[in-house]
């Protein structure tokens, strides 16, 4: 299946055989079922990208034969995973996509057709950032659709729902809508968090609060969710204010959440609104699953 034949609106998940990818596949399959969407298992490979294969070619092995062997192994991997996924989710439409390409580019190429891309936090690729697989970083940084990074977490822990960070501007609307929809789909409560600067109370362990002492911020936060209650009346919402940096506040509050939702949009200065700031910090350090929503 090529990028052009990916079903429109599908949930696409990256497959590479790693434990992290298997966690991502399980989450993606459940999400596709909740949304009544098809699931696409996408595996991308680079035939001559390993030292062993390069040595074979240099030693005189036929290039086409080496490429064929690698493609065969890649096809077997994705089909095995597809079979297991169909067994555990018999009502789900599961298809596979195999591409001879860089995994990062392969996933970005299908973003325009996908409703959601799901990736693990660490893969088997040779290139990684310090804390997060390079595929996860690239896709979350540049995809035109929302991306979910399935971070290491403990599913058995009691958690408190969906957490979303907002800054009170219209650019957060898509992020808020995504968070409300996830809370509704999963029947979870939603916490909407906004941070502010208070030098006297700026400590990492500060407890989020909503009091009359912060009237302007309280009104800004309330206005940011205006209209969402009518669209999602079933979602239980809690509004919270927290002093400090947005990424630090989100990470502190995320410890007991099922999902953290952050926006990806341009910014500068203290807002630190680029992926290199808030979103990247959360996606690399949060102890739970993270969704990155482009504006």
- Verdict on whether the full-model pTM lies above 0.85: no
Fold of 3-150: Rossmann fold (3.40.50)
- Judge if 3-150 and 162-294 fold alike in CATH terms: yes
244 pLDDT tier (thresholds 50, 70, 90)? confident
Tell me, what's the pLDDT at 158? 59
Segments making up each domain of the chain, as ranges: 3-150, 162-294
Cα 163 to the chain's mean position, in Å?
Answer: 14
Closest residue by Cα to residue 73 from 45, 101, 107: 45
Residues 6+ apart with CB under 8 A from 208: 193, 240, 241, 242, 249, 253
117-155 residue pLDDT tens: 999 987 554 433 333 457 888 899 899 999 999 987 766
Check: CB of residue 173 under 8 Å from CB of residue 164: no
Is CATH 3.20.20.140 the classification given to domain 162-294?
A: no
């Amino acid at each position: 299946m090529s990028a052009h034949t990916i079903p429109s609106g599908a949930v696409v998940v990256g497959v590479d055989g790693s434990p992290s990818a298997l966690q991502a596949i399980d989450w993606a399959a459940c999400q596709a079922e909740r949304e009544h969407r098809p699931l696409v298992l996408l595996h991308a490979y680079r035939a001559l990208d390993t030292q062993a294969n390069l040595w074979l070619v240099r030693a005189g092995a036929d290039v086409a034969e080496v490429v064929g062997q690698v493609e065969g192994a890649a096809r077997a991997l994705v089909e095995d995973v597809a079979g297991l996924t169909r067994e555990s989710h018999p009502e789900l439409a599961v298809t596979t996509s195999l591409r001879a390409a860089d995994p990062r580019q392969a996933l970005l190429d299908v973003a325009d057709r996908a409703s959601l891309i799901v990736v693990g936090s660490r893969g088997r690729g040779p290139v990684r950032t310090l804390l997060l697989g390079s595929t996860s970083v690239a896709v979350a940084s540049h995809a035109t659709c929302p991306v979910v990074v399935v971070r290491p977490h403990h599913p058995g822990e009691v958690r408190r729902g969906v957490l979303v960070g907002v800054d009170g501007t219209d650019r957060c609307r898509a992020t808020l809508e995504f968070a409300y929809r996830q809370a509704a789909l999963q029947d979870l409560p939603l916490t909407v968090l906004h941070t502010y600067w208070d030098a006297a109370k700026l400590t990492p362990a500060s407890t989020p609060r909503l009091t009359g002492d912060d009237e302007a911020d309280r009104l800004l936060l309330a206005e940011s969710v205006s209209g969402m209650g009518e669209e999602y009346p079933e979602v239980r919402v809690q509004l919270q204010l927290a002093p400090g940096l947005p990424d630090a506040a989100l990470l502190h509050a995320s410890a007991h959440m099922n999902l953290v939702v952050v926006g990806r949009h341009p910014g500068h200065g203290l807002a630190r609104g680029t992926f290199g700031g808030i979103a990247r910090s959360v996606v690399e350090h949060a102890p739970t699953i993270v969704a990155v929503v482009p504006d």
